[in-house]
Amino acid sequence: MKWLETDTRNCPVHRTLDLVGEKWSLLILRDAFNGVRRYDDFRRHIGLSEAVLADRLRKLVAAGVLRAVPYREPGSRTRNEYRLTPKGVDLWPVLLALKQWGDAHTGDPDDPAGPALDVHHTACGSPVQVVVRCTGEDAELLTAREVTATPGPGARAAT
């Protein structure tokens, strides 16, 4: 089977995008990785309408990447915080890869101030990096030219 003959709806990229691949969803997750948990904080920081934020939070909880945890401040009603689940934490390389590309390619040449977010290894202070590597013994770093992609065991023919 060739790539063009495969059913694209069965593709893991397609399925991932159906769950979390919407701009506001990804920005909510970005904020969650930066410690944001509360509805009003997401709304104010990302600049979302209540309707869009409520919809995206509901979808992210349904997808199992965020979980709602009730909390109550004195004198207020019970509200929900939104925390990353382990499945959500696994999206970390996606967010970092988006950041890395943005740092490399979307900077303002008239305002070369550097990254808006500095992500570094806590233990040593060095910046972190997303790389693609071989799972073989030498763990070689790879470029797109050094790999081959073929339909795998789960590929289905397009109908």
Query: Per CB under 8 A, which of residues 94..113 are in contact with its own copies?
Result: 94-107, 111, 113
Work out whether 4 is an interface residue with its own copies (CB under 8 A): yes
Question: Smallest Cα–Cα separation from 67: which of 53, 54, 84?
Answer: 84
Ranges within 57-76 binding its own copies (CB under 8 A): 64
CB 24 within 8 A of CB 60: no
Size of site (CB under 8 A) for its own copies: 93
Work out whether 54 is an interface residue with its own copies (CB under 8 A): no
Segment interacting with its own copies (CB under 8 A) among 54-62, 71-79, 115-123: 115-123
Work out whether 153 is an interface residue with its own copies (CB under 8 A): yes
What is the spatial distance between Cα 12 and Cα 108, in angstroms, rounded to a whole number? 33
The region, left, alpha or beta by phi > 0 then psi within -120 to 50, assigned to residue 145 is alpha
Quick note: the x/- pattern for its own copies over 17-36, rule CB under 8 A, is xxx-xxx--xx--xx-xxxx
Nearer to its own copies, 51 or 144 (CB): 144
Sign (positive/negative) of CA torsion 58, 92, 82, 65? positive
User: Residue 41 has which token pair?
Assistant: 């904080």
Nearer to its own copies, 50 or 90 (CB): 90
Distance of CA 46 to the CA centre of its chain: 15
User: Residue 35 has which token pair?
Assistant: 């410690």
Segment interacting with its own copies (CB under 8 A) among 51-59, 69-77, 136-144: 136-144
Among the listed residues 50, 71, 121, 157, the single contact to its own copies using CB under 8 A: 121
